[in-house]
Chain A
Amino acid sequence: MASVWVFSREVDNGPSTLSLELMTKARDLGEVAVIYVGVGSDAAFATLGEYGARKVFHFDPGDHLVAAPVAHALAEMAQVQAPDLILFGQAYDDRDVAGRLAARLGATVLSNAIDVGLEQGPATTSHEIFGGTQIAGAAFTGPGPYLVLVRPKSFAASPVGIAAPQVSKQKPAEVGRADARVIETHIEEREGPKLEDAAVIVSGGRGLGSPENYQLIEKLGKLLGAATGATRALVDAGWVPYAKQVGQTGKTVKPEVYIAAGVSGAMQHLVGMKDAKTIIAINKDPDAPIFAIADLGIVGDVHKVLPKLIEALENR
């Protein structure tokens, strides 16, 4: 049976949702061991067991930046234990560890996969390209371990409920001059539901014109019990925090309803939201690419349409 390792970064005292998705997939490919990075707890390890982990390698790097100490330790473990496949999520710490580990092992890493196969021979992957209009199939050509970064929501997480995993505490490596320290952590406050889990999302883009106008998005969001999102243009301009970014380098969302106001529909935004069940777009440019995937497209000015919509909902 193939051996598959899954990287799991601790979020809110437990494994990230993304890593549970990966574990669900990994169960179909082989025997699952989880690399768990965080403080750790019996409850967290029990969750890993429920999603199919037989073994857990637990690292707690403390205030060291995760990448180098964990990647160096993993490289040694991988050379001895020779896993066939190591799955990571397309997420920040995951990318850092995968990149360093790949370089250390001299192994190729494939990014942005939406599916992974492991049958006879090297692993295979699928990737959305050109804004999700085409699917590229790729294959590794050399020997393993095969390192793959998988996009969020590529698989639906589901528990299997097997016995508690065997947990072994691993020592992060001493990395000398490659070390970096996390000296402060700042958490921004969030109102309303979490973007990744929300059933309804209202997102704004540069068409809002000014940071103050993002309030229209927030008002509408509140009325609909929705999470609020944004394009990278707004994040880069500092109007909203990165946590609100939807797209290739932000969150991947699959809500029931996604409302995009003043969003052009760039490829990198579409890959993060095109799987929403219903898409409503408001844009003054009739040729904006967002309309190509919208179930309802309003060619109009957000400054006119949004206030009227808000008023109508308030009066209901």
Chain B
Amino acid sequence: MRVVVCAKQIPDPATEYKLEPDSHWLVRPGEQVLDDTDRYGVEMGLQLAQAAGGTVTLVSMGPTGTMQGIRQALAMGADKAIVVDDPELRGSDALLTARVLAAVISREGFDLVIAGTESTDGYSGVVPQMVAEFLDVPALTYATSVQVGDGSVTIHRQTNTGYEVVEASLPAVVSVTAGVVEPRYPTFKGIMEAKKKPVETHTLADLGIPAEIGQKVTTVTAAASRVAGAKIEDDGEAYLKIVELLAQRKVI
């Protein structure tokens, strides 16, 4: 089974995110990390490929930089990576991103594409569905569990009131929630091997896709902010302050 995992490199969420002054694009340092959201996709892909016998290929769009995030995913066990890096893709919207990912995926060939439900830095939450449409396959979305059978895939799809069991034939796209599986930590051996795994790099011209972006950020302004109230250290009696405030607000 050919499993493709869409995985994104993002600025380390532990650092403060900044925007570039005129374009308002997110500042992306040379060293980016694997989006935590996509660690679940990588793990799911590895487990399914192992069970069915197959390969895991990473597909990623964005500035490659030091490739740290890609290497993280390779160190977990993915076989190879295909990266699309082109200055014209800066400020890309979900549509162009999905077009690019789908073009790479269909060139490569696939049985199952796995993505996260939403990325940490962009959180448009529509890229997997768009990729599925470009590939003309179903998108089984918001999966909390995934099972691959003979030519078909079945998921538990998270809903507002519980879950649905959804089934489709392969090939398909599946988007997974955080928590679908427990991502492994790369082993030392994995990290060493990752350094030698193949990483293909493409530009937009290689894919024959025009750099059309249908949106722009025009302004960024400070939001009206809340003013914090009293902060008190619990001395064993702090609960009384809560009771008092609840009474004031007529909750009790």
Contact = CB atoms under 8 A, between A and B. Distances in A.
Nearest to B142: A92
Interface in B163-221: 163-169, 171-172, 177-179, 212-221
A291 B144 CA distance: 32
Nearest to B120: A268
A222 B98 CA distance: 46
B223 A309 contact: no
A242 B166 CA distance: 17
Contacts of A156: none
Given A111-B123, A309-B243, A297 B230 contact: yes
A207 interface: no
Contacts of A238: 179
B51 interface: no
B215 A182 contact: no
B249 A257 contact: yes
| Chain B interface category by residue count | 35 or more
Interface string A290-316: 011111111111001100110011001
B245 interface: yes
A102 B95 contact: yes
B239 A177 contact: no
Contacts of B218: 124, 137-139
Contact of B215 (A141, A237, A298): A141
Contacts of B242: 259, 280, 296, 298, 305, 309
A130 B156 CA distance: 31
B234 A304 contact: yes
B217 A136 contact: yes
Interface string A63-92: 001011001000000000000000000111
Given A134-B220, A308-B239, A141 B213 contact: yes
Contact of A65 (B166, B169, B213, B231): B166
Given A132-B223, A297-B229, A183 B236 contact: no
Nearest to A310: B239
Interface in B228-252: 228-234, 236, 238-243, 245-246, 249, 251-252
A249 B161 contact: no
A183 B166 contact: yes
Contact of B179 (A65, A177, A237): A237
A298 B118 CA distance: 33
**Dominant secondary structure of chain B at its interface with chain A:** mixed
A267 B225 CA distance: 14
A54 interface: no
Given A248-B123, A256-B249, A304-B234, A138 B243 contact: no
Interface stretch (B3-11, B63-71, B80-88, B133-141): B133-141
Interface string B115-140: 00110000111111111111011111
A109 B214 CA distance: 9
Contact of B138 (A180, A278, A296, A299): A180
A294 B136 contact: no
Interface residues of A, number: 93
B165 A304 contact: no
A293 B126 contact: no
Given A135-B221, A177-B136, A111 B241 contact: no
B225 to A, nearest CB: 7
Given A109-B126, A294-B228, A186 B162 contact: yes
Interface string A184-203: 11111010000000011000
Q: Which residue among B99, B126, B129 has the maximum number of chain A CB atoms within 10 Å of its CB?
A: B126
Contact of A96 (B95, B129, B230, B241): B129
A111 B97 CA distance: 14
A28 interface: no
A61 interface: no
Interface in A83-107: 90-92, 95-96, 98-100, 102-104, 106-107
Interface string A248-290: 1100000011010000000000000010011110000010000
Interface of B: 17, 24, 93-95, 98-99, 117-118, 123-134, 136-142, 144, 154, 157-169, 171-172, 177-179, 212-223, 225-226, 228-234, 236, 238-243, 245-246, 249, 251-252
Given A188-B162, A238-B179, 5 more contacts: A98-B126, A136-B219, A180-B166, A295-B229, A300-B238
29 contacts: A67-B129, A68-B139, A71-B133, A96-B141, A99-B130, A103-B130, A108-B93, A108-B215, A109-B124, A133-B223, A134-B220, A134-B222, A135-B221, A139-B216, A140-B215, A141-B215, A142-B212, A179-B138, A243-B162, A256-B251, A257-B251, A274-B226, A279-B226, A292-B226, A293-B228, A295-B230, A296-B230, A298-B241, A299-B234
